[in-house]
Amino acid sequence: MPTVDQYLQTNAPRFEQDLCELLRIASVSTDPAYRAEIDRAAQWVADRLRRLGLSTELIQTEGHPLIYAESPHIEGAPTALVYGHYDVQPADPLDLWISPPFEPTVRDGNLYARGATDDKGQFLTHVFSVEAWLAAEGRLPLNVKYLIEGEEEIGSASLQAYLEQHADRLACDCVVISDGAQFAPGQPAITYGLRGIAYFDLVLKGPARDLHSGTFGGSVTNPANVLARMLASLVDEHGRIRVPGFYDDVVPLSPREREGFARLDFDERRYFEQIGVDGAIGEEGYTTLERRWARPTCDVNGLWSGYQGKGAKTVLPAEAGAKFSFRLVPNQDPSKITAALRAMLAAMCPPGIRFELTAHHNSPGVLVPLESPYVQAAARAIEQAFGRAPVFTREGGSIPIVLSFHEHLHADTLLIGWGQDDDNTHSPNEKFALGDFHRGIGASARLWDELSRVTK
């Protein structure tokens, strides 16, 4: 593929400029205040695909727009569906960003911006690789379709609905997703398992107004005290989650998987150093990688109650709230767990407190068969572009849509993330290494070639 390679090399600076254009659009999906930016980002993506000569549609939904595009059909060739998302997480806390979240800035070979690695910089690698094929070779060796959404960070409702209604249009042999991390710098990976999630908002309402904690304390149930008790009750002293039946459907890690993880070049001390901690507690009997990738969790994501300012305010708060979520492993059922959780918390709710449990988005975990010829094709493409064979790993985060692709399209999903673990996804100072960006484009260009050779 010398002509494609030549094109990639020549156009590398322009790919960076194009990415920066998209990164300047603050397409935060969880906050309605950013709706105009969402629309601008969707329009940008549609324009970009249209300029490649692809048949492109900007699809309005009840939520944020979807973009669908497809290359001119080649009869008999395999079909790959590229999935990505143009929406991003909120940028707060803003004061911790070294450069502003929506002004992409290069430092030490890294591009810093909200969305750089999650997922704008990653999904665009599969756009630029197609551009290179079309410009350098005048053709693609296979059929490529794109489905790009704007609700990944808030549950993908519109995409899910579209997928249910248009499975025929989206029919493909494999789904290509770059929305995660390599195993380490210089060590690419193919991720064959993802955790699911069940996310909740818990609000406890006590007295009708904030009260003086001296005048009333002791005689009124304090919702913040009860909240602490409820949250503490979710995990026992061995790091096991106490929601009844929580582990019933968990498929144990196989000895082969545990051995594979143990063989990986994982430096736990360096991992903790990067995070800035001296160690960690977690579920007893499991290694750090197992806890991260393949065991369920319970994490409090947010807390609020009473007085949060400076100094002391002697208030007995009227309300207290928490956001918390379980990461689920394959075969756990979010609905079953939601029901068990609700019953457990309702039983704990004392006189003087009304409780409201809201279930946000949820999704089960997913595993992809390692034997798939498409997985093997991806491994070859990655080895060529990165100069090193990928390792096979799992991932602690969720891409709920992967499960839907599996259910509705019956296609294997190739999870080939170009990012790094320290990219500060969802945190201040999110970044994407420019080297990984360009190697990703190169691997994507080779992937089209390798996939075109798979015998169906």
Show contacts with a second copy in window 247-306 (CB under 8 A): 271-272, 275-283, 288-289, 291-292, 295-306
Which of 121, 150, 206, 442 is the binder for a second copy (CB under 8 A)?
206
Between 59 and 231, whose beta carbon lies closer to a second copy?
A: 231
String of DSSP letters for 180-230 = SB-SBTTB-EEEEEE-EEEEEEEEEE-SSS-EETTTSBTTB--HHHHHHHH
- CA-to-CA distance for 317 and 337, rounded, in angstroms? 30
Residues 27-86 that bind a second copy (CB under 8 A): 30-32
CA separation, residue 365 to residues 19, 192, 193, 304, 421 (Å):
30, 11, 7, 29, 20
**Least distance (Å) from a second copy to the CB of residue 170?**
25
Note whether 207 binds a second copy by CB under 8 A: yes
Note whether 235 binds a second copy by CB under 8 A: yes
Between 4 and 320, whose beta carbon lies closer to a second copy?
A: 320
**Least distance (Å) from a second copy to the CB of residue 17?**
28
- CA-to-CA distance for 44 and 20, rounded, in angstroms? 12
Helix axes 434-452, 125-137, angle to 10 degrees: 60
Q: Edge-to-edge strand order for the sheet containing 354-363?
A: 319-328, 196-205, 354-363
Residues 349-368 that bind a second copy (CB under 8 A): 350-353, 360-361
Which of 43, 221, 331, 452 is the binder for a second copy (CB under 8 A)?
221
Stretch that binds a second copy, among 11-19, 157-165, 171-179, 310-318 (CB under 8 A): 310-318
Q: The tokens of 246 are what?
A: 């929580």
Stretch that binds a second copy, among 75-83, 92-100, 373-381, 441-449 (CB under 8 A): 92-100
**Residue 357, SS3 per DSSP:** strand
Q: The tokens of 115 are what?
A: 């969305």
Between 223 and 442, whose beta carbon lies closer to a second copy?
A: 223
Stretch that binds a second copy, among 7-15, 42-50, 108-116, 309-317 (CB under 8 A): 309-317
- CA-to-CA distance for 329 and 342, rounded, in angstroms? 20
Note whether 212 binds a second copy by CB under 8 A: yes
Residues 397-416 that bind a second copy (CB under 8 A): 397-398
